[in-house]
């Protein structure tokens, strides 16, 4: 029974989680591993009911991703061929030309702003949920989103 529920959630949220972690790690293999690990944690978890699964999943994915990145940095630097592979993976996910320029502008944002934008606009999380995922206050998330919009406006205007 529990496996059926996790399978439904996997089908519903896998692509969102993968895109989010891919934007954090810029490495497709690492992103796939992080998302799979997060779903494994959901399957393995106790009988505790998760009230808001998507914010919980995004937080677990984020934490697993950062743990994997820390582990990688300790033992080896990301090699150029893997960086190229992840850029190609992002290009495949975001095919529409209009979204590519927007996505490139998002990539230029500072990491905290980029994460807030991805969670708010792409994952459609509420401010409160983003605060829970990132460990920041709601006011801080609002400021990050405001500054991100201002920075993106500036980035997109200079590219015209």
Residues 140 and 153 in one domain: yes
- Check: CB of residue 107 under 8 Å from CB of residue 156: no
Residues 87 and 117 in one domain: no
C-alpha–C-alpha distance, residues 151 and 140, integer Å: 16
Residues 82 and 144 in one domain: no
pLDDT at 78: 45
Residue 129 has pLDDT above 50, yes or no: yes
pLDDT tens figures, 1-31: 466 776 788 889 888 888 888 888 888 888 8
Residues 113 and 127 in one domain: yes
Residues 111 and 125 in one domain: yes
CATH code of 15's domain: 1.10.1740
Length of the chain: 160
Domain of residue 136, residue span: 96-160
> Where does the pLDDT of residue 81 fall: very low under 50, low under 70, confident under 90, or very high at 90 and above?
very low
Answer with the one of 93, 117, 150 that is the final residue of a domain. 93
* 47, 72, 156 from 50: Cα distances, Å: 9, 30, 39
CA-nearest of 75, 33, 64, 53 to 123 is 53
CA-nearest of 81, 61, 147, 88 to 112 is 147
CATH code of 155's domain: 1.10.10.10
pLDDT at 47: 56
CA-nearest of 72, 69, 55, 46 to 9 is 55
> Where does the pLDDT of residue 97 fall: very low under 50, low under 70, confident under 90, or very high at 90 and above?
low
pLDDT at 26: 82
Residue 76 has pLDDT above 70, yes or no: no
> Where does the pLDDT of residue 127 fall: very low under 50, low under 70, confident under 90, or very high at 90 and above?
very high
The structural domain count of the chain equals 2
CA-nearest of 49, 24, 53, 21 to 37 is 21
Residues 74 and 112 in one domain: no
C-alpha–C-alpha distance, residues 142 and 155, integer Å: 20
Residues 108 and 49 in one domain: no
């Amino acid at each position: 029974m529990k496996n059926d529920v996790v399978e439904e959630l996997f089908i519903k949220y896998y692509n969102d989680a993968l895109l989010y972690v891919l934007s954090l790690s810029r490495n497709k293999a690492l992103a796939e591993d992080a998302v799979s690990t997060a779903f494994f944690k959901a399957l393995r978890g106790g009988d505790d009911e998760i009230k808001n699964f998507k914010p919980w999943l995004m937080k677990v994915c984020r934490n697993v991703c950062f743990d994997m990145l820390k582990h990688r940095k300790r033992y080896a630097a990301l090699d150029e061929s893997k960086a190229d592979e992840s850029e190609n993976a992002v290009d495949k996910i975001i095919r529409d030309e209009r979204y590519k320029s927007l996505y490139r502008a998002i990539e230029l944002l500072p990491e905290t702003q980029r994460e807030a934008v991805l969670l708010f606009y792409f994952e459609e999380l509420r401010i409160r949920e983003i605060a829970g995922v990132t460990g920041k206050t709601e006011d801080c998330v609002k400021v990050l989103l405001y500054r991100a919009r201002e920075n993106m406006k500036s980035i997109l205007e200079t590219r015209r």
